Amino acid sequence: MRSLLSPLRRMLPRAAAVATLSLTLGLPALAETPIKIGLVAALSGQSAKSGEALTRGLTVAIDEINAGGGILGRPVELIRRDDESNPAKGMLAARELIQREQVTVLFGGLDTPVSLAIVPLANQLKVPFMGIWAAGTKITVNGAKDNYVFRVSAVDELVDEALVDYGIKQGMQKPGMILINNPWGESNEIGFKAALEKRGMPYAGIERIEDSDLDVVPQLTRLKNAGTDTLLMVGNVGPSAQVVKSLDRMGWDVPVVSHWGPAGGRFSELAGPNASRVHFIQTYVFTEQNSAKGDAVLAALKQRFPEIKSLADVTPAVGIANAYDAMHLAAAAIEKAGGTQGTQVRDGFYAIERYEGLIKDYQQPFTPSKHDALGPDDYVFTHFVDGRIVPLAP
């Protein structure tokens, strides 16, 4: 019997921007109390596509899990909350999901500042928090002696190494950094400086951009005058699009090597015809030729979400893939734990020996000293072509 989608609406203040999605399978064998999984992500605004992708990845994985008998013989139910890319709202949503909804694992979304706000709460309440987009290094490397934060996603310090390597292969000799003015930008500044220092490479300068910027020509002009030959960019959809449009106004044809922020929403639409000039990193891309698992997941996505007609409709695939693999790993951890108690589930992540996932074949993905399942060999470079994220030639 196929799985059913049952929206569960809760009357909460409009400011909370609540979105709830309940996923259960209508089988007698799964009549037990559901295991609740929480998602805090940007479900509205310019980055809403990222929240949609994360939801889709979790949904398809949960469908598979429920069709196979659930976790510990119990169905899995997904409950979502919109953080509106706001750290305070994200923390309140996380607290509500943990304390009122009593989710077994909390999944986190797009923004590093939001995830960093949730980390202390998850560690304090001893509930596993799984990052599936935000890449700030300190999300998992957070200094907590008792760490409940895991991640199936990129990691800034590793991404920065990859971005610098890619830039050098493209001829970069004197990069300039244009970074979002928040903790995510600060995390990447540290990573970029370390990667450049390791290679003895100078940089032209560092400029900051804001989410609210409508023109970044002054920052770009300073970088151009300082001799920048490649831009290293970190920013989500809105500010990244403003960088492209400002470059167009300046007539400055400089290569742009970017973190994956542009993938999170309507970048190709907002940046205009030159969106393709931005080369950015991903952990996974659906193409015309995928692995067997990739084809199976793509088919499941099209069946579950009839609005998906083409590969352009599964952009950003990175959110789908990260969430899909992370949900299956979380299910394995709960099975290993034999229950839903937080500390047992945390230790269950350490007990996972192998999972053949969508992104890769995971071999002991987590240990007490390693809470990031993906490494530097798990990245691919891409750009937008006609609204699709397309891999660049190696």
Evaluate if pTM is beyond 0.95. Answer: no
- Whether domain 4-154+290-376 has CATH 1.20.140.10: the reply is no
- Measured in residues, the chain has a length of 394
* Exposed / middle / buried, residue 299 (Cβ in 10 Å: 0-12, 13-18, 19+): exposed
Residue 31: per-residue pLDDT: 62
Residue 394: per-residue pLDDT: 67
Distance CA 31, CA 124 (A): 32
What is the full per-residue pLDDT of the chain (394 aa) written as tens digits? 333 334 333 333 433 444 444 444 444 445 689 999 999 999 998 778 889 999 999 999 999 999 999 999 999 999 999 999 999 999 999 999 999 999 999 999 889 999 999 999 999 999 999 999 999 999 999 999 999 999 999 999 999 999 999 999 999 999 999 999 999 999 999 999 999 999 999 999 999 999 899 999 999 999 999 999 999 999 988 999 999 999 999 999 999 999 998 987 788 889 999 999 999 999 999 998 899 999 999 999 999 999 999 888 887 899 999 999 999 999 999 999 999 999 999 999 999 999 999 999 999 999 999 999 999 889 999 999 888 889 997 6
Closest by CA to 195, choosing from 170, 219, 222, 168, is: 168
Closest by CA to 326, choosing from 273, 362, 296, is: 362
Do the domains spanning 4-154+290-376 and 157-282 agree at the CATH topology level?
yes
Residue 264: per-residue pLDDT: 72
Distance CA 61, CA 326 (A): 9
Question: Which residues, other chains included, contact 99 with Cβ-Cβ below 8 Å and sequence gap of 6+?
Answer: 125
Residue 20: per-residue pLDDT: 44
CATH code assigned to 157-282: 3.40.50.2300
Residue ranges per domain, the chain? Answer: 4-154+290-376, 157-282
Residue 28: per-residue pLDDT: 43
> 10 Å Cβ neighbour count for 60?
25
Distance CA 34, CA 133 (A): 26
Closest by CA to 263, choosing from 286, 246, 245, is: 286
Residue 376: per-residue pLDDT: 86
